[in-house]
Amino acid sequence: MTKGDFRTTGQTEGQTLAVIALLNGGVTPPSDSVARLTQLQCDDGGFPSFLILDGQVCESEAPTTALVALALQRAGGHLPVVTRARSSLKKAQFTTGAWPAASYSIPGSAYATGWAAQTLRALGDRGHADAGLSWLSRQQLPGGGFAFEEGATDPLLYATAAAILAGAKSDLVTLTTPEPTPPTTPPTAPPTIPPPPLRRPAPPRLRPVRGRT
């Protein structure tokens, strides 16, 4: 484990989600943990899926690159790193509007496209984000979910979540909604309607008994 790594993560996305969770919770993440993300950037501007060490091969992946760029943009102070990641994402986009899950992948990935569209919209690249959203709209399965990549038929929760956030034209770091302000005046009690008066049943009529003759 390298300095700044969160325990048990092992993956760049896990490290990034931990940073985003702290930021969205109003907590400043450890500076070493944020710096660790910046140190993972590959030569092409993207980010690998694993927390690699110095000297290891760095293969960038679009969903990881998007997520890290989103976190660093939210953390602030890392404009050069974010700019390179942004350029890497735009270059990796297919003409269909989709992004692959990895640089060597051929089919478009709903998971990768969801994250990339979120990030590029947040960074101001609406054209690229809208192209990704158009592609996503053609990938939704009959049940409403999304598979990992085109051609697959099994809906996956994590792919669906990324695609839905992109479809809502939002992103993970701006998703948190402030707590609602409680009302200053107590709510008025609903009007009470008195129950209808009870009606006593009429006494039964007694038939006269005729005596025997």
- Both tokens of 144, joined, read 């409403």
The residue whose two tokens read 């839905």 is 164
What amino acid occupies position 132? Answer: G
- Return mean pLDDT, the chain: 89
Q: What is the pLDDT of residue 190?
A: 65
Q: What is the pLDDT of residue 103?
A: 86
Kindly report which listed range (7-11, 156-160, 203-207) carries the lowest average pLDDT score. Answer: 203-207
Question: Higher model confidence: residue 182 or residue 117?
Answer: 117
pLDDT at 180 over 80: no
The residue whose two tokens read 């709903």 is 110
Cβ-Cβ contacts under 8 Å for 121 (sequence gap 6 or more)? 129, 166, 169, 171
- Do 18 and 32 contact (CB within 8 A), yes or no? no
Question: Higher model confidence: residue 124 or residue 185?
Answer: 124
Q: What is the pLDDT of residue 174?
A: 87
Q: Give the 3-state secondary structure of the chain.
A: CCCCCCCCCCEHHHHHHHHHHHHHCCCCCCHHHHHHHHCCCCCCCCCCCECCCCCCCCCCCHHHHHHHHHHHHHHCCCHHHHHHHHHHHHHHCCCCCCCCCCCCCCCCEHHHHHHHHHHHHHCCCHHHHHHHHHHHHCCCCCCCCCCCECCCCCCCHHHHHHHHHHHCCCCHHHCCCCCCCCCCCCCCCCCCCCCCCCCCCCCCCCCCCCCCC
d(CA 74, CA 166): 17
Q: How would you classify residue 27: left for phi > 0, otherwise alpha for psi between -120 and 50, otherwise beta? A: beta
User: Quick one: which of 74, 100, 105 has its CA closest to 89?
Assistant: 100
- Both tokens of 8, joined, read 């048990």
pLDDT at 211 over 80: no
- Do 50 and 200 contact (CB within 8 A), yes or no? no
Q: What is the pLDDT of residue 125?
A: 96
pLDDT tens by residue, 129-169: 999 999 999 999 999 999 999 999 999 999 999 999 999 99
pLDDT at 69 over 90: yes
d(CA 100, CA 49): 14
d(CA 150, CA 146): 9
